[in-house]
Structure 1
Amino acid sequence: MSTQKGVTLASGVKISNVWLFEHEGQRFLFDTALRLERPALVRALKQAGLEHGDLDAILLTHRHSDHAGNAAWLRDELGCSVMCHEADARILAGEVPAPALATASIPLWARPICAVEDHFPSRLRIDERLVAGPWRFGFEVFAAPGHTEGSVLYYHAATGTLFSGDVILAGPATMRAIRRLTLADAAFSEEPQRCWAATREFLSKDMPVQTLCSGHGALLAKDVRAKLRALRT
């Protein structure tokens, strides 16, 4: 585990990022990794000293299995609620089908990955279905549909911390040494243009972000606001 500015990255989890956020005695986990990375996640949580009842909530940035894969299991292990946007909650609960990712419009190299997501999606009950706007504990939820139906960003104003999921990426999956700020990857997004437009609308607010915690890539804590401004165009 590596900690900076109240945010701890489960560094042993490689494919996607799992963030532990602590502020004024409250603890939140952002995303939960793929099921196959559960052993690495368990080691990271033990290293952080997390026990049953220690978490205030698990917040999912979106429903893809590399982010929601261990959410149901962690709810039971840690005794906490799982939250995500209402649009993704309906799909996670099996109430509506998920649009296929593996389509003819995406690059050939991405199709096997998308096919796995299509055939083995995460399924779980969501305890609280979120909508865009202020939430508890000082968080605000910003919707950026298009990566998934319910992809969101979570902003914590008191600390200037932004959890962007796959809406804003700090680097490619598994390669945190490569620092490259980009918008959502079109190959893994249902409606990339829609997501990019929503993200740019969020960026136009010019929030005083000090720390960026993305779904993939390293934590960014230097010149973050200026780097986010560069993504507007």
Structure 2
Amino acid sequence: MTQITLSKTNCYYLENENGNMLIDTGYAYDKDLFLRQMGDAGISIGDIRYLLLTHHHDDHSGLVSFLAKENPDLVVIMHALCAHLVSKGYNAKEYGGRWCSKSMQTLTSVYKKFDKNWTLTFPPYFAGPHDLLLDFSRGSVPFLDYTIIPTPGHTPDSISLLSNDGSLFIGDAAANFLQFAGTHYAPPFITDTSRFYATWKELLTLPIDRIYPAHGKSFSPDKLKKHLYSLKESKMPLFTGD
């Protein structure tokens, strides 16, 4: 496994004899950093057979269109809802939800005034006939040496990847950053708190050895158990996407 650490997003490159996989891409403006880190690791865009999107947000799908153009054989794997949302080219606001804490709401409000690149938009991607769109009507999906798991809560289209060695690539279904802001291993906002914690409960029944988030360092699944239900909706400000 090779970690590609971008401006705010961890992407992961997994080698597999049946086709190498990249998990997420970072922001569109991360392109130069992405290419530099890939080059430093000896990885070319043509080496990527599969690209798994954990969900449609700009910090995860910003480079999908670029990579698909550079590598016509690339197969994008994503939730069927993600395919719809990523074609719009912006982070969906219609699902609402809540900030994980008042502190996070304040930090985000201040930050967006200084980072002019943070527009919540990205080049849209339109799924092709060779892409793999998942509906999870029968539960988790086996794929190569992995299992793709629906992990909704942060967004309704969130998915994660569990490898046979117990490594879970969780996207934003959990996070390990800004703990001082009261995140409790959650991402900055959650569209559905009950589904979010139902996801954690389900994950705790699986043979997970280590969790690799899109934001922050890897951590033990014990952190999910310890912080299960730590966030209280009564203290979580409503999220409107503004």
Q: For this structure pair, what is the TM-score category when the shorter chain's length is used for normalisation?
A: 0.7 to 0.9
What are structure 2's unaligned runs of at least 5 residues? 230-242
The CA deviation string for residues 51-75 of structure 1, in whole angstroms up to 9 with x for no partner, is 3531220001111100110011112
Name the residue aligned to 1:184: 186
Moved more, 70-79 or 192-201: 192-201
Could you tell me which of 25, 31, 39 is aligned with 2:32?
A: 39
Name the residue aligned to 2:225: 229
What are structure 1's unaligned runs of at least 5 residues? 1-6
Cα distance, 1:188 vs structure 2: 2.8
1:210 aligns with 2:209: yes
TM-score of the superposed pair, with normalisation by structure 2: 0.74
Summarize the alignment of residues 14-163 of structure 1 with structure 2, pairs less than 5 Å apart: 14-24=7-17, 26-79=19-72, 80-94=74-88, 98-100=92-94, 107-111=105-109, 113=112, 116-117=119-120, 120-126=121-127, 127-132=131-136, 133-156=140-163, 158-163=164-169
Question: 1:99–1:190: 8 Å Cα contact kept in structure 2?
Answer: no
Question: 1:51–1:78: 8 Å Cα contact kept in structure 2?
Answer: no
- Structure number with the bigger relative contact order (C-alpha 8 A, sep ≥ 6) is 2
Question: 2:65–2:123: 8 Å Cα contact kept in structure 1?
Answer: no
Moved more, 190-199 or 75-84: 190-199
Cα distance, 1:141 vs structure 2: 2.0
Name the residue aligned to 1:169: 175
Cα distance in 2, alignment partners of residues 149 and 95 from structure 1:
17
Question: 1:171–1:216: 8 Å Cα contact kept in structure 2?
Answer: yes
SS in 2 for 1:169: coil
Cα distance in 2, alignment partners of residues 16 and 38 from structure 1:
12
Matched AA of 1:59: L
Question: 2:89–2:125: 8 Å Cα contact kept in structure 1?
Answer: no
The CA deviation string for residues 65-114 of structure 1, in whole angstroms up to 9 with x for no partner, is 00110011112223411111112211112399933488997724324759
Question: 2:185–2:224: 8 Å Cα contact kept in structure 1?
Answer: no
- Alignment length (residue pairs): 212
SS in 2 for 1:116: coil
Question: 1:167–1:183: 8 Å Cα contact kept in structure 2?
Answer: no
Identity of aligned residues (%): 23
TM-score of the superposed pair, with normalisation by structure 1: 0.77
SS in 2 for 1:98: coil
